[in-house]
Amino acid sequence: MLASFLIFLREGIEASMIVAILLAYLDKVGRREYFRYVVAGVVSALVFAAVVGTIIYVTVHDYAGTNLQTEIETATYLLATVVMTYMTFWMRSHAKDMSRELRDRTDVVLGRGAKVSMALMAFQAVGRECLEAMVFTLAIVFSSSVVGASVGAGVGTIISLAFAYTMYRLGHRVNIARAFKVLGVALMFFAAGLLVDAVQNLQQLGWIHFMNHALWNSTSLLSDQSTLGDVAHSFFGYASQPTSLQLVSYLAYLGITISLFLAVGKRSQSAKPKALRNS
């Protein structure tokens, strides 16, 4: 539940911010007639992601208990890890410029007067977040439970919508870069957990034959099948019987990605004063 909450909070904030920026700018330039096309694009993106996710979920469960199910789940874990890592770094470096870039794209669309193009722009901008959330949700559901993932997703979505509404209606200024920095580090832990799940499946499938000895067994203290163990597994990658490769993969991923993530932020902060001095 905690993992899906963070996922939908982060993705929901980004997607709803995009919509809020688009609507606020259209309102500012007196083009409110385009509101319905933005909404149409957003709804189409949500429906598309929901349909694709449902088809994949039903297809996988038609092969429950087979190696094919495990293989598809493993591919989902790896894809979610890669996409989550990429989008977290991307937002870290683009958060400050996102509003300006959206306004520039909106000006181009308005200049052509294409209503369909406005809907497509909203679909593309929000659709990316929807597809990312769909991949992450599938990974969560495969590794935990549908109910817990649904509750976390619902709460995260509600909070992110409230955040966007506050930005649009009240005009509050929020340090978006700092917000995504905190969420980014938190999501790195979840991505590390997905990587651990992928490694475990690969070892169970017999595709990896080294470092597969269990380091300990803490099932009697906290089973990863229990409610608390499921939360610890989803967010921290906890496993009651981890192999040495799982532990090494977990620590190596966190060490490398968090170090690079923080370094990207420092580099962008140091580049800003230089740009100001040269201007």
The pLDDT tens digits of the residues spanning 60-90 come to 777 767 788 788 888 888 988 888 788 778 7
Q: Which residue has the higher pLDDT, 14 or 95?
A: 14
Identify which of 121, 106, 126 has the alpha carbon closest to the alpha carbon of residue 25: 106
Give the domain ranges of the chain.
2-271
pLDDT exceeds 70 at position 168: no
Q: Whats the size of the chain, residue-wise?
A: 279
**Cα–Cα distance for residue pair 26/167, rounded to 1 Å:** 15
DSSP three-state, residue 243: strand
Q: What is the DSSP string of 143-194?
A: HS-HHHHHHHHHHHHHHHHHHHHHHHHH-----HHHHHHHHHHHHHHHHHHH
Contacts of 71 (CB under 8 A, 6+ apart): 201, 205
User: What pTM does this model have?
Assistant: 0.68
**Cα–Cα distance for residue pair 246/192, rounded to 1 Å:** 10
Helices 98-112 and 115-143: crossing angle, nearest 10°?
Answer: 140
pLDDT digit string, tens, across residues 142-166? 766 667 667 777 777 787 777 767 7
